Structure 1
Amino acid sequence: MRNMILPANSGVAAIGLKIGLIVPYDDIASITADAVKTIVDDGDIICITEAVVARSQNRYLSCSELADEVQEKLHLKPGGTLAVISPIASRNRFALIMKTLAMATRGGKVIVQFPIPFDEVGNQVIDEDFATTRLRLKKTLRSLRDARGNTPMLNVLIREIIAGLKLQEIGCHIISIRKIAGKGIADLTVKMPDGKLAVIEVTFAELEKAARKAVGIQKDVSGAEQALAIAVNLEHNYLTMVDANDFSCDKNTEPIKLDFSSQIDSYYEQDVIFADELGNNSFSHPVTDVDYRGLYLQMIEEGGARGEVIFTNNPLKVYDLGYIDGVCIGAVHEREKLRELFASFGAMVPVLTIQDIGPKPWGVIGSNVSDFEGGVLKLLPEDADGTAEKIKEKIKEATGKSVDVLIFGDGAYKDPDTGIYELADPHPAIGVSSGLKSAGLRGGSKLKLVVDTLYSKGYSKEEIIAYLENREGETVDESLGTTPRSATSIIGTLADLVAGSADAGTPIVLVRGFKYEQKS
């Protein structure tokens, strides 16, 4: 492509440029200047993905190197326990970091706290319906337990909630609990793991009577394919369950016994879902199909440690699992808030963020897997602003054109279909040259609002055009301006969208016609 000439009525334009393979110690400034020299113009913004910049700088570190640093900074003794708070759920972004943290414990334990139900960038880590239903049941159970001293009849509700919790663990989806929700005619209505609709009657001891009742109810519930009877023993913390139709025909049918004695304390923790409550459930991401709990437990095991994952929006609950020797904040954007949370509650052990692990300024924030089997991470570029300035100078030297340069990472956009806000880097703009350092927020008035308002007042098209050109005459309320956004974040996001990922092969993006204001 030579001499890119845009039509006179064009606005912002962005085009991805293909270049050859970049390897460590390549001269990224010369390569970029050569890629744009035939089409660049004054005022263009040249964007380069951080991945090729970092590769040209040989920005790699091994898990073993990082593990030694973590061990030293957290003063971890062999066999210690480390809590990892709110990590991003990503094989590429965090799996090797998790392995690194496990290695730092030298045969110890890693406790991972996942928020419910998504990580900070929108990745689902636990099924939202499962988590919402379970926490609601546990909250109700806790309230009933606190109140039942004066009202023994509340045990009837308690037994049904415990039955619901146990059914969840074997893969059932709770549709309703009649005495709580006021819906349905069975004590519980559920969808079984195989998808069948089932009605359930719950009792303390009269399993035969409950089975007969469940069979009768099944006939009255449209679509019900199965009937179950459950007897809950609150004294010894177990329940027995039978297929009501089989049991009604043959009293020798062997009931299934499910013990919950080891889980009863977990059931009363109303804002945490512990590992012993998950039963047969695994939670695969609806888009990537990765079970991040399972993946991180695997990484911890490969790092030579034992792992435990809890789901809660209260990170301090990690302290309920025993003594913690150190804390590592795994979040990217909420890292300082979470550090302050632990500090405000008097954390007596070292607390690090992933920005504190690895070289400054970003540590392992924004790192990617370079060699999964070999345990090697690629970091963000070194001195990204300085590198952008050198590329700018090289382009000026090679072409005589005055441009600005932006090194970009993840774009700051949220996919409405997947719900993922794919910003695992600290900012869309990792580094900028001098001209962009003073770029302010990009705002402005809503053109559609101004046009609609003036047109409704009888202005002709020509009069509206004149108003827009001169902003003279009758004043239109333009207080409803466009949402102010960082100009560099917009440019970085635009570049990321144009460059694409996977094998797109366009790590350089030329942006032309992007107007922005300088900071005042």
Structure 2
Amino acid sequence: MRCVGTVVRGIRTPIVKENDDLATIVIDSLMQGKESEGFEFQDKDVVAITEAVVAISEGNYVTVDDVAQDVQNKFPSKNIGLINPILSRNRFSIILKGIARGMDKITLLTSFPADEVGNGILDEQVLDESEYNLGSVITEEEYNETFGSWKHPFTGINMIDFYRELIEAEDCEVEFVFSNDIKTILDYNKDILACDIHTREKTIKILKAEGATVYGLHHVLAEPIGDSGFNPDYGVLGSNKATEEKLKLFPKTGDTLVNEVQKRLIDLTGKQIEVMVYGDGAFKDPVGKIWELADPVVSPAHTSGLVGYPNEIKLKYVSDNKFADLKGDELKEAIKKEIKEKDADLTGQMITEGTTPRVLTDLIGSLCDLTSGSGDKGTPVVFIQGYFDNLAND
């Protein structure tokens, strides 16, 4: 009888640079890991590659000047309303630097008390005790007077101060407005750049219906400026700071990569191995309240065997209800039989209550993001075995 279920291994690789043969690096690193750790490949193993090394290997970079030129092309007035950017030095500051470089004035509207992914912008206790509420429109002067001394407890930075200094350093005027109603921006400007990630299509639809000219960050660098990088699906969404003058974009060749890696691994091992590219893991930190999904999707590319949702029964529910009178080996065998005979689609059945209703690539991507981390582990490839197994697999 098997005593171990899912096994996850972070796979160390060489440091990936532009124009490296990433497929070969991934496969060679896996084979070295196999020799080192003594594992054997199995059907339905999963190889996951972090989006960062995919984008680096394809050289998918843009400069601050590229961002400035594209935004200026879209907004020749050089005066825009910019709404709901995330409050992140890594994720948005270089984008904002480019926007400011191309504009003369920005009216920046942000939600409060936090941005879209949970980065705080003010002290919520002070908000509760103030004259303002979540339906208020707060001016920059009012914010400074009531909340301006606030600094994020993790970073020690007030992002409004940080963004103001960044914008003004590009000789661009800025005015901040704090509102949870996106239509507030229409009182200031009808040329609008929507910077939200997961609600961007709804935002654009609402504001266009009010007669505004609206683009989203997914439209910025959706096509190259000269010989720059670009992403046709996500633009600068999912990008990260590379240097003070350069952004690494979300990868655009992931589909080609995952299919090539899968084919070569099947040829080498004879096993049906699935492959995916992953970014942020879409989980929420209960202390910092940050939702870890600044990327537009968890997995921008994956092989066909990773499409779909889990189809699992809740063992506790079955044990406590259908087999409440059984114990020990008799209970275990009854549950194994239940698993083997479960419907191919359990959607809506009580027997699934309490299982996680998320797509497979989101679940696996979260597992991978937590495994590889965002620091110095040096494991941009994650190898997962037994993820699709259950108690009935001996």
Q: TM-score, normalised by structure 2?
A: 0.86
> Whole-Å Cα distance in 2 between the matches of residues 20 and 81 of structure 1?
45
Q: Distance in 1 between matches of 2:154 and 2:132?
A: 29
Q: Counterparts of 2:365 and 2:165 in 1: how far apart (Å)?
A: 34
Helix, strand or coil at the partner of 2:153: coil
Q: What code does the residue aligned with 2:275 have?
A: V
Deviation per CA, 1:396-439, whole angstroms, max 9, x where unpaired? 34444431111110011001111111110111112112332xx2
Is 2:380 aligned against 1:510? no
- The unaligned stretches of length 5 or more in structure 1 are 1-6, 140-268
- SS at structure 2 position matched to 1:101: helix
Mapping 1:139-150, distance limit 5 Å: none
Letter of the 2:219 counterpart: D
- Per-residue CA distance 1:141-180 (angstroms, 9 max, x = gap): xxxxxxxxxxxxxxxxxxxxxxxxxxxxxxxxxxxxxxxx
- 1 CA distance for matches of 2:54 and 2:294? 17
- Deviation of 1:514 after TM superposition, in Å, equals 1.3
1:368 matched to 2:240: yes
Amino acid aligned to 2:258: A
The one of 8, 13, 20 aligned to 2:14 = 20
Match of 1:45 in 2: 46
Counterpart of 1:114 (choices 110, 114, 121) is 110
SS at match of 1:429: coil
The residue aligned with 1:132 is 128
**Higher-Rg member (1/2):** 1
CA offsets per residue over residues 201-254 of structure 1, 9 Å max, x none? xxxxxxxxxxxxxxxxxxxxxxxxxxxxxxxxxxxxxxxxxxxxxxxxxxxxxx
Letter aligned with residue 321 of structure 2: T
Equivalent residue for 2:82, pick from 81, 84, 105: 84
CA offsets, 1:365-395, max 9 Å, x none? Answer: 11000002xx100001122112211222233
Decide whether the 8 Å contact of 1:414 with 1:421 is kept in 2.
Answer: yes
CA–CA separation in structure 2 for the residues paired with 1:506 and 1:284:
33
Instruction: Give the paired residue count.
Output: 364
User: 1:345, 1:40 → 2: CA distance?
Assistant: 59
Letter in 2 for 1:81: N
1:217-236 equivalent positions in 2, closer than 5 A:
none
2:318 is the alignment partner of 1:450: yes
RMSD: 2.4
Instruction: Decide whether the 8 Å contact of 1:17 with 1:509 is kept in 2.
Output: yes
Q: Counterparts of 1:300 and 1:129 in 2: how far apart (Å)?
A: 29
Amino acid of the residue matched to residue 240 of structure 2? Answer: N
* Identity value in percent: 32
* Aligned twin of 1:308: 175
Once residues 350 and 252 of structure 2 are traced to their aligned partners in structure 1, the CA distance between those partners, rounded to angstroms, is: 47
Question: Equivalent residue for 2:65?
Answer: 64
Query: Where does residue 385 of structure 1 map in the other structure?
Result: 255
Q: Matched residues in 1 for 2:379 and 2:5: separation?
A: 22
Query: Unaligned regions of 5+ residues in structure 2, if any?
Result: 222-229, 342-348
The aligned counterpart of 2:92 is 94
CA contact (8 A) 2:135 2:180 kept: no
Conserved 8 A contact 2:48-2:382: yes
CA drift of 1:12 comes to 1.2
| Alignment match, 1:263 | none
Q: What is the aligned counterpart of 2:337 among 470, 480, 494?
A: 470
Alignment-derived partner of residue 429 in structure 1: 299
**What amino acid sits opposite 1:86 in the alignment?**
N
Aligned counterparts of 2:368 and 2:181: Cα–Cα separation in 1: 36
1:138 deviation in Å? 5.1
1:471 partner SS: helix
Distance across 1 between alignment mates of 2:360 and 2:106: 40
Superposition deviation, residue 125 in structure 1:
1.4
SS in 2 for 1:16: strand
2:160 corresponds to? 293
Contact 2:135/2:179 (CA < 8 Å) preserved in 1? no
Partner of 1:245 in structure 2? none
2:163 is paired with a residue of what secondary structure? helix
> How far 1:290 moved relative to its partner?
2.0
Matches within 5 A, 1:341-356: 341-347=206-212, 350-356=213-219
Q: CA deviation at 1:286?
A: 2.0
Q: 1:516 to 1:121 in 2, by over 3 A?
A: farther
- How far does residue 467 in structure 1 lie from its aligned partner after superposition? 2.2
Mapped contact 1:121–1:420 kept (Cα < 8 A): yes
The question of 1:402 aligning with 2:267 is answered: no
Does the residue aligned with 2:117 lie in a helix, a strand or coil? coil
Task: Report the Cα distance in structure 1 between the residues aligned to 2:199 and 2:135, rounded to whole angstroms.
Answer: 24
Taking the aligned partners of 1:98 and 1:419, their CA distance within structure 2 comes to 24
Aligned to 2:345: none
* Contact map agreement 2:6 2:389 (CA 8 A) in 1: no
Deviation of the 1:64 alpha carbon: 0.5
Alpha-carbon distance in 1 for matches of 2:264, 2:25: 10
Q: Supply the distance in 2 between the matched residues of 1:419 and 1:432 (Cα, whole angstroms).
A: 29
Contact 1:82 1:111 in 2 (8 A): yes
Deviation, structure 1 residue 116: 1.2
Distance, in Å, in 1 between the alignment partners of 2:184 and 2:73 is 25
